[in-house]
Amino acid sequence: MEISILKNYFICSLNFRLKGKVAIITGGARGIGAATAKLFALNGAHVIIADILDELGNGLAESIGSRYIHCDVAKESDVESAVELALMWKGHLDIMFNNAGISGPGGTIANMDMDKLNRLVAVNINGMVHGIKQAAKAMIKARFGCIICTSSSAAVMGGLGYHGYTLSKEAILGLAKSAACELGRYGIRVNCISPHGIPSEMIADGYRLLLKKPELSVEEVQKQLVEKDKVLRGRNGSVEDVAHAALFLASDESGYITGHNLVIDGGFTTCTTSMKHMYD
């Protein structure tokens, strides 16, 4: 009887790991962002979904009892408005999940479209700066906060993404480490999450471009990822895996972790293809 009571208490406590905390999730309308918004809300957080996909974002916000704001992270004023919404709504901002990003231009380095690269930099790099900057302004006053940035396995291992995308994601790692060094004195933690091969609309867009198959579905992309990148047998990566990593970094359980890059890849960047074959 006592064991059952303790077990139920433990399960209930897990569902409130972010109780009362206010979180902004950019790119929160679908994919990793949407999965994280749901999980954060389930764990007691007051969530603001910030995205440019208004229909999806509003629908998700309504379904989980959160708030939605239109936000193009390339525009600092939009990010500032999202932070202002958090402060007006609940009076504080505890968690900033800078998740919004785009896949960017394909092609070789010799034929890269610079206009498309500039747009990618505006979203993936400038947008990340805007998120960290505006969140820091609110969190410094409170002497507390958690900032999480979505990078990629392409920042850890070469050849996993197009040049522009790789450039932007590696820049995020450097920015997060640098920000962690400065903001630590205010009790603000800054960490990265680097997913690999997670089936989502964004990675599907990249595969559609690469394979010149605009009709390719997320499910079809997932099959290709499993066949090519599988290391951890019996397990496929999902947006929920990344959401749980974000929950850990946002919670007090990771209170002594900052400047860290948490790679979610099922061991892919640790095990080379040639090494995997050695054990077959």
Active-site residue, selected from the candidate residues 9, 165, 207, 279: 165
Which pLDDT does position 277 carry in this prediction?
46
Q: Which residues pair with 212 in a beta bridge?
A: none
- Mean residue pLDDT of the chain comes to 87
Q: Which superfamily is assigned to 16-278 in CATH?
A: NAD(P)-binding Rossmann-like Domain (3.40.50.720)
Written as six digits, the tokens of 80 are 């500032």
> Considering just the CA atoms, what is the radius of gyration of the chain in Å?
19
Q: What is the DSSP letter of 251?
A: S
Query: What pLDDT does residue 103 have?
Result: 86
Average pLDDT of span 157-166: 90
Q: What is the pLDDT of residue 279?
A: 45
Q: Which helix (H) or strand (E) holds 190?
A: strand 188-195
Give the position of tokens 């972010």: 18
Q: 236-259, pLDDT tens digit by residue?
A: 788 999 999 999 999 999 999 999
Measuring CA to CA, which residue among 20, 37, 127, 27 is closest to residue 76?
Answer: 127
Mean pLDDT in residue range 91-104:
95
Lowest mean pLDDT among 21-25, 99-103, 114-118, 202-206: 202-206
Cα separation of 47 and 99, whole Å? 14
| Secondary structure (DSSP) of 114-138 | HHHHHHHIIIIIIHHHHHHHHHHHH
Measured distance CA(159)–CA(272) in Å, rounded: 12
CA nearest neighbour of 36 among 60, 20, 10, 54: 60
What pTM, to 2 d.p., does this model score?
A: 0.88
What pLDDT was estimated at residue 268?
Answer: 86
By the 8 A CB rule, do 80 and 59 touch?
no
Known active-site residue 165: yes
Say how far apart CA 231 and CA 258 lie, in whole Å. 28
Domain boundaries, the chain: 16-278
* Residue 207 to residue 203: CA distance in whole angstroms: 6
Residue 143 confidence (pLDDT): 95
